[in-house]
Structures are given as C-alpha cells and as structure tokens.
C-alpha cells in the first residue's frame, strides 16, 4: 500500500514531527511513503513526491511544516477533485494522512465519497476547537509561546502603573485565552463563550487599584471581538493607562514542545495502522481522557466544538 501525508489549512507546531514519524513508520511497515506539497492546491497540481529518510532528517524540532500548506477554493470544483484523484492514482496512492482541521476533513470526506481513497485525519490546530477530541496537535506549543509572552509582558507591566491587554488567537473558541489567563494569573479574561460584563469585576478592580494595585493583565480572545471595548473600559473606567499587544501569528510558530512531538508520533502511528487495516477509511483519530480512538467525520464536522464547562467556570473565579 502506498500512503501519502498532506498538511491542509493553518499550520501547527507538531506537523514536522508528524511528517517525520510518517516516513519512519512507513519504511518500518514496508510501505511506500509520499509527500503532497502545498496542501489541496498541491494535490490538484500533482506536487506529489516519494519521500525518503533524507527528506525528514533534522526536522523534528522545527515549527511549521516542510510540506507547506494552503486553502483551496479549486477543490470545491468536481473537475479539480477528479484531477487530484488522477494524480494520486498515477502514484498508486490509496491512503492519505491529513494534518488539518474540520474544513480539511470535510473536503476529504467528499473526496473519498467520490473516489476509492481512504484517509485518516489528525486534528491539527492551535485553536483546539475540533469537536470530538480534547487535544489537537500544536496546542501545547502555542500555549507555551503565549505563556512566555505573558510572563515578559507582566514583567514590564509591574514596572509601570498600567494595564496590559493581550489579544490571543482562537478563532471562535476561547480555549487559548482561558488557559493562558489561568496560568498567567490574569485579572481579566474575555472569550466568545461568555458575555463580557465589566460591571461584575469593575468595583473589585477599582478597589484594588485604590489600595495599591499598579497593573492589570487582561487576556482577550480574538473571537470575542472585544479588544477595543476592553481597552476603552480599562482606560476610562478602571483608570489605568493601557497598552495592547496582539500576539498574532507568533502563536503558530516555534519549536514543538515535547508533548506536541509525542502527540504527533501517537496520532500518526495510529492513523497509519488504521489505514492499513481498513479498506475504506474516512475517520479522524482523537484523544480523550488519555485514550486514542477514531470517530466519523460527521462527528467532527457536523457539530460545533463546545468549550468544557470547567474552563467556562474558571472565568467566574476572576469576578
């Protein structure tokens, strides 16, 4: 059996360790590994290459993905999906490991319903917003990047009588913001899942400022779309000069942590074993309560991710 690996959508730390394990494990199994470069666009344009150990030497510690990625509008067109299948078929590839998110998995679900192509999705997104899994590849590295930034920002915040507002990524999910607020000791956390009600904490913060508090750290999830509102509130209502730091795509880079490297290895090995054992696979490998399992694409793509209640409850601790 010939297998390929592809990265689709946003990059995530841990993709390169996954790519290395894919090649190493394929050779151990006696399978022929292939790379698909540039995501779905590369699949359409036949950017497919047989992989060797040399290709993956020295990449396990590197962030991003050596295969590069893309978002493809052309893949919505059946004619381009036919072209993509012809490319895979020409190489004898009938199994694909997909490193991506729910959009990538939906695309491959359609693809595999039209052609005899099996695939296993590996949840890979720093947002940790894929339904059906407690963990997605790249999250731990991203949280450590944020933690490092927050520790440094708090150092300078403590040196001035100021508030510092830090916007973190997460699309429509507040996971990164909540966890970052918990581990940094932030005084304010704003996420899409919980209405921003400044009056609930305003009196407490004003009292603390009046009694000597000289800085405030506020974490705002980009999906809440409240960065400007929180900024104005901190300056005008709390009365502290405020600085804003938008971390942006720095959160998607960096050397994968130990945990993300181990998760990459586990996800890929289980995905490849599943491909070999199932003639027509279209599943996503997930991690819940310390256990790995496989779920249908509809469980991933058909349901909105819900932030666990204990994280939402953590917001109330700041009130």
Instruction: Using alpha carbons only, give the angle 57, 60, 63 rounded to the nearest 5 degrees.
Output: 120
Query: CB–CB of 230/176 below 8 Å?
Result: no
What's the farthest any 2 CA atoms get from each other in the chain? Answer: 73
Q: What tokens does 264 get?
A: 């990459």
Q: Which residue has the tokens 């004898």?
A: 92
Q: Which residues are catalytic?
A: 127
């Amino acid at each position: 059996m010939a297998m390929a690996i592809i990265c689709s959508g946003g990059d995530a730390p841990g993709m390169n360790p996954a790519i290395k394990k894919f090649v190493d494990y394929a050779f151990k199994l006696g399978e022929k590994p292939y790379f698909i470069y540039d995501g779905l666009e590369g699949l359409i344009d036949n950017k497919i290459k047989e992989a060797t150990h040399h290709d993956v030497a020295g990449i396990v510690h590197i962030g991003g993905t050596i295969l590069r990625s893309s978002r493809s509008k052309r893949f919505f067109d059946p004619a381009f999906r036919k072209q993509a299948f012809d490319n895979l078929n020409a190489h004898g590839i009938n199994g694909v490991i997909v490193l991506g998110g729910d959009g990538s998995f939906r695309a491959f679900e359609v693809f595999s319903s039209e052609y005899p192509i099996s695939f296993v999705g590996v949840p890979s997104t720093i947002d940790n917003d894929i339904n059906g899994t407690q963990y997605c590849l790249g999250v731990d590295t991203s949280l450590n990047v944020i933690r490092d930034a927050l520790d440094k920002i708090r150092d300078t915040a403590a040196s001035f009588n100021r508030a510092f507002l830090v916007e973190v990524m997460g699309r429509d999910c507040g996971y990164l913001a909540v966890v970052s607020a918990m581990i940094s000791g932030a005084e304010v956390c704003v996420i899409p899942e919980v209405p921003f009600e400044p009056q609930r904490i305003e009196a407490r913060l004003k009292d603390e400022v009046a009694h000597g508090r000289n800085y405030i750290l506020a974490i705002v999830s980009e999906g809440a779309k409240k960065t400007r509102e929180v900024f104005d509130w901190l300056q005008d209502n709390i009365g502290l000069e405020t600085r804003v730091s938008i971390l942006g795509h720095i959160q998607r880079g960096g050397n994968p942590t130990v945990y993300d490297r181990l998760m990459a290895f586990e996800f890929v090995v289980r995905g490849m074993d599943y491909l070999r054992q199932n003639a027509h696979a279209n599943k996503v490998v997930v991690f819940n309560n310390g256990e790995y399992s496989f779920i249908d694409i509809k469980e991933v793509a058909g349901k909105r991710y819900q932030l666990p209640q204990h994280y939402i409850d953590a917001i109330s601790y700041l009130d």
